């Protein structure tokens, strides 16, 4: 009788158990994503609102204190600002103001633009003053305003740091050019030195008058207390006066005491 043969090692496939598929829940995923985005974006939104409020209040206070026709541009740097406000110190504040007047002077010289960088800015408990640990500033003065202050029309000279003026001599004497250097003097004043006559001979009386015009430095006024003039340079449109200072104080409720100097 024939016996069936069996192969060793033969395998027999058993049917796999049906796989259970997880049902996706798009609604739950969307909710989780929305919550995550809220947790991420909410602090940013709150910080931006706080920043906008601080910048607005600073601009208003500066405008009232400096008597500018328009509110300045104010930017609080660093993130987050909320923690800076909570600590009572803003790490850095940049301010750009225009058309700062300089009344109360025999030769007022307004500032066409003032760029301020204030580091470590704090305010007093009653908001009567703000104080920066250190500050840098650049004031820009137009030749038109400088000319009105001097009573003589001036423009940029040919040499570095020099301004010039064309003088028409009487009785058909022709035209000559006078030049002088500008520099920083103590007390936030712009001084005029090294007066020279070019392209002709200036009569003795005319020289005496011009010597008197340039003899007295021009006082820069209506600046936050603590800023000290470091340098004055000439540009195509006017003068750039650069300041630095420590413990620079700004009083929103009154003009700077520099105006009364």
Mind listing the pLDDT tens digit for each residue in 44-74? 788 888 889 999 988 988 888 888 999 999 9
Beginning with the edge strand found earlier in the chain, give each strand of the sheet holding 175-185 in spatial order.
155-156, 162-168, 175-185, 189-198, 218-219
256 pLDDT band (50/70/90 cuts)? very low
pLDDT at 129: 82
User: How far apart are alpha carbons 191 and 57 in whole angstroms?
Assistant: 36
Which class for 242: exposed (0-12), middle (13-18), buried (19 or more C-beta within 10 A)?
Answer: middle
Task: Write the pLDDT tens digit of every residue in 227-253.
Answer: 999 999 999 999 999 999 999 988 765
pLDDT at 220: 93
Residue 131 has pLDDT above 80, yes or no: yes
Residue 7 has pLDDT above 70, yes or no: no
Q: Where are the domains of the chain?
A: 35-252
């Amino acid at each position: 009788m024939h016996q069936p043969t069996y192969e060793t090692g033969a395998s027999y496939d058993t049917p796999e158990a049906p796989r259970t598929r997880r049902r996706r829940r798009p609604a739950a995923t969307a909710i989780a994503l929305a919550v995550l985005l809220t947790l991420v974006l909410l602090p940013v939104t709150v910080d931006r609102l706080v920043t906008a409020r601080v910048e607005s209040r600073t601009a208003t206070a500066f405008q009232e204190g400096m008597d500018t026709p328009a509110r300045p541009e104010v930017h609080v740097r660093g993130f987050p600002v909320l923690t800076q406000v909570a600590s009572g110190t803003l790490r850095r504040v940049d301010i750009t103001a225009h058309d700062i007047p300089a009344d109360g002077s025999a030769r007022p010289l307004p500032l066409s633009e003032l760029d301020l960088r204030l580091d470590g800015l704090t305010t007093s408990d009653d908001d009567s003053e703000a104080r920066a640990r250190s500050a840098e500033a650049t004031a820009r003065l137009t030749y038109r305003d400088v000319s009105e202050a001097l009573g003589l029309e001036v423009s940029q000279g040919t040499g570095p740091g020099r301004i010039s003026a064309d003088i028409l001599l009487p009785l058909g004497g022709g035209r000559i050019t006078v030049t002088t250097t500008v520099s920083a003097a103590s007390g936030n004043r712009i001084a005029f030195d090294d007066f020279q006559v070019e392209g002709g001979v200036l009569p003795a009386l005319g020289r005496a008058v011009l010597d008197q015009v340039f003899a007295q430095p021009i006082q820069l006024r209506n600046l936050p207390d603590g800023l000290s003039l470091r340098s004055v340079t000439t540009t195509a449109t006017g003068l750039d006066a650069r300041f630095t200072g420590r413990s620079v104080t700004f009083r929103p409720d009154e003009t700077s005491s520099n105006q009364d100097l």
